[in-house]
């Protein structure tokens, strides 16, 4: 359904917004290429494309904080995804449940659920 080759995005990447299926809390956003989306659909576990490492990564591969994908939606322009997930542990590599744990002024509003140095 998604034509990755014709996407007007960075190198055929599509933005994936990840949301907790029950609480509707936005947990994170990351990029997917065709392989990441196919692997996600095939396994039911979120996979993404790392722009910094230029490789596929399975969410939670190192930390154990996996995202079980319950539903994937696509926006009206077919250039971004919304993934509803069951989150194990924290979604943020900084130790928070959500990557959106601070306000624009820098005030931290989230609580850490793990210490990154214990996981990575």
With contact defined as beta carbons under 8 Å apart, do 13 and 81 qualify? no
Q: Does the annotation place 105 within a ligand binding site?
A: no
> Nearest Cα to 85, choosing from 46, 35, 29?
46
In what helix (H) or strand (E) does residue 34 lie, and over which residues does it extend? helix 34-43
Q: Does the annotation place 75 within a ligand binding site?
A: yes
What is the distance between the alpha carbons of residues 51 and 22, in angstroms, rounded to a whole number?
29
Q: Does the annotation place 99 within a ligand binding site?
A: yes
Q: SS3 for 59? A: coil
Output the known binding site for Zn(2+): 76, 92, 99
Summarize the annotated binding site as residue ranges: 75-77, 79, 92, 99
* Residue stretches of the annotated binding site for Mg(2+): 75, 77, 79
């Amino acid at each position: 359904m998604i034509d990755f080759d014709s996407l007007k995005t960075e190198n055929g990447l599509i933005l994936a917004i990840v949301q907790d299926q029950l609480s509707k809390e936005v947990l994170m956003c990351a990029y997917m290429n065709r392989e990441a989306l196919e692997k996600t659909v095939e396994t039911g576990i979120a996979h993404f494309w790392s722009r910094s490492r230029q490789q596929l990564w399975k969410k939670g591969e190192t930390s154990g904080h996996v995202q079980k994908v319950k539903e994937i939606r696509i926006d009206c322009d077919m250039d971004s995804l919304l993934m509803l997930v069951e989150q194990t542990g924290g979604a943020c590599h900084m130790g928070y449940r959500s990557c959106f744990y601070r306000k624009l002024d820098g005030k931290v509003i989230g609580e850490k659920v793990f210490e990154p140095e214990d996981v990575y």
